[in-house]
A and B are shown apart, each in its own frame.
Chain A
């Protein structure tokens, strides 16, 4: 079945450090890929997405590129801030045309220290 594997946390960084969270997927067909973020005490919100191979999603300084050859969608940010402390989820929708169900990774908790 469709699945997402993301690097385990927790990850602790200092401000202005470089952040990478690895995400790989298994899916039939051509999935759409997403990163969601959950700030403390809140629900999830979409951070960025990519719907086809080689697309790059970007938002709030975060980027991720849809790599079909390596079935990956790694999240990166060049200089993190304390406000980036959150849980990050990689997710996919397996079939764009008629399926709205998301499959999520386990989540990676990121803590950024001042």
Chain B
């Protein structure tokens, strides 16, 4: 059974803290994505990566960075957490090839910044 796992389901942090969200996939996928999900806004792409060491900005990269040192792991970093980064964060992966391939999602991390 294919799987995308995220390090935490729920996380509470304080303003100004550095926050790490980890994502691991076991499908040998080349492509990985980080989204945030907010009511009424759907999913918005933060960063994505099509290969190890590679990263590209999505639609809302401000305040975030990423790291992909290994193919199976894609980390999202909030350098200095702020209250407007309170949200649900979803990681996804897909294989390379035709762009119609399914993205597989993790269960999400609900982050609250106080």
Q: Which of B40, B42, B43, B98 makes the CB contact (< 8 A) with A97?
A: B98
Q: Which of B42, B48, B90 makes the CB contact (< 8 A) with A43?
A: B90
Interface centre among B31, B42, B96 (most CB of A within 10 A): B42
Q: Which of A51, A89, A93 makes the CB contact (< 8 A) with B43?
A: A89
Known: A44-B105, A100-B31, A101-B58. Is A51-B41 also a contact (CB below 8 A)? no
Q: Is B103 an interface residue (CB 8 A)?
A: yes
Q: Is the CB of B43 within 8 A of A49?
A: no
Known: A51-B100, A93-B99, A93-B100. Is A106-B105 also a contact (CB below 8 A)? no
Known: A93-B100, A96-B99, A99-B99. Is A42-B107 also a contact (CB below 8 A)? yes
Interface centre among B45, B50, B105 (most CB of A within 10 A): B105
CB closest residue in chain A, given B95: A100
Q: Is A82 an interface residue (CB 8 A)?
A: no
Q: Is the CB of B103 within 8 A of A102?
A: yes
Q: Is the CB of B99 within 8 A of A97?
A: yes
Residues of A within 8 A of B106 (CB): 43
Residues of B within 8 A of A49 (CB): 100, 102
Q: Is the CB of A100 within 8 A of B90?
A: no
